[in-house]
Amino acid sequence: MSDLPKFIEHLYEEYRNLDSGSLASYIPELTKANPNWFAISIVTKEGTVFEVGDISENFTIQSISKVFVYGMALEDCDRLTLLEKIGVEPTGDPFNSVIRLDENSKRPDNPMVNAGAIAHNIEEILDLYFQQCSVVVNCHDLAVMAATLANRGINPITQEKAIAPCYVRDILSVMYTCGMYNYAGEWAYKVGIPAKSGVSGGIIAVIPDRAGIAVYSPLIDHRGNSVRGIKVFEDLADKFQLHLLDFPLEQCPFLDISQK
């Protein structure tokens, strides 16, 4: 554990002056963000918290909300009913791609793209969709939300059940394959843990049965992903061998952070 606080402090200092990327100008509210805001938060399934930077700065959740609304839909409809309406196939499309349906099934490809997030009656759902994307959070909030998924649906701070454990696997599977839009494949190759990004500059990631991680920095690349956030996650994955395919999880040094 002693390495983790020092390392996230190092990452914060390493990347706080990285100024590549830009604010999301196509959403006026997002242009009000301070490009210097930068925060890293890690919450373990036991509720231990490691944080650095602008943890309490508020921003809109944007597409990260799709993860949790998908969880609500699973509980409301069950996975088989949901699969009849929305697929789980990665698209390789950018975050702002045109809405399209699968030629054969007539379903949106997955719930992480806009077409999948807005499936049902479009006119009625759009207002709710805009509201869910406008929910205000901070980096700490997102890390707790990610840790809740890591903890089989139980909030590690309040110990309240947020979602039935049987649906967490579905959520994490879609995050792993579809959560980073047209960066999903490279993310799976380089970082290798379930994640979801939003154009406001947040990224959440889940280490199943261990911890949730959130990074916030509003400067985004052409794919809509936080530039500093990508760097932080790549370095964390390398340092602590977080990639799910590196080797058996019980050998991962990151897993000891809550036990010392």
pLDDT for residue 227 is more than 50 = yes
Query: Taking the C-alpha atoms of 92, 98, 102 and 107 in order, what is their torsion angle to the nearest 10 degrees?
Result: 110
pLDDT given for residue 82 in this prediction: 78
| CA gap 110, 11 in Å, rounded | 33
Spell out the SS3 assignment of the chain. Answer: CCHHHHHHHHHHHHHCCCCCCECCCCCHHHHHCCCCCCEEEEEECCCCEEEEECCCCCEECHHHHHHHHHHHHHHHHCHHHHHHHCCCCCCCCCCCCCCCCCCCCCCCCCCCCHHHHCCCCHHHHHHHHHHHHCCEECHHHHHHHHHHHHCCCECCCCCCECCCHHHHHHHHHHHHHHCCHHHHHHHHHHCCCCEEECCCCEEEEEECCCEEEEEECCCECCCCCEHHHHHHHHHHHHHHCCCCCCCCHHHCHHHHCCCC
Task: Find tokens 């045109």 and name the residue.
Answer: 98
The structural domains of the chain, ordered by start, are 3-256 (3.40.710.10)
Q: What is the mean pLDDT of residues 25-33?
A: 92
pLDDT score of 116: 53
Most confident by average pLDDT, 99-103, 104-108, 179-183: 179-183
Beta bridge partners, 167, equal none
| Sign of the dihedral defined by the CA atoms of residues 234, 157, 47, 167, in that order | negative
With a pLDDT cut of 90, the percent of the chain lying above it is 68
pLDDT of 250 strictly over 60: no
Query: What local confidence, expressed as pLDDT, does residue 54 receive?
Result: 98
Q: pTM score, two decimals?
A: 0.86
Measured CA to CA, the distance from residue 43 to residue 61 in angstroms comes to 18
pLDDT interval class at 260 (50, 70, 90): very low
Tell me: the pLDDT tens digits for 177-200? 989 988 999 999 999 999 999 999
What is the identity of the amino acid at 182?
N
| pLDDT of the residue at 209 | 95
Spell out a b/e string for 17-27, using b for 16 or more CB atoms within 10 Å of the CB, else e.
Answer: eeeebebbeee
Residue 251 has pLDDT above 70, yes or no: no
Instruction: Summarize pLDDT for 161-174 with one digit per residue, the tens.
Output: 999 999 999 999 99
d(CA 182, CA 230) in angstroms, rounded, equals 14
To the nearest whole number, what is the mean pLDDT of the chain? 88
Percent pLDDT > 70 in the chain is 82
Please check the confidence at residue 118 and state whether its pLDDT lies above 90. Answer: no
Q: Is the pLDDT of residue 112 over 90?
A: no
What's the pLDDT band for 160 if we cut at 50, 70, 90?
Answer: very high
Q: How far is CA 2 from CA 9, 42, 129, 140, 156, in A?
A: 12, 14, 42, 20, 21
CA–centroid distance for 236 within its chain? 15
Q: Which pLDDT band, with edges at 50, 70 and 90, does 128 fall under?
A: confident
Cα angle 72, 104, 98 (rounded to 5 degrees) comes to 65
Instruction: Determine the pLDDT at residue 84.
Output: 79
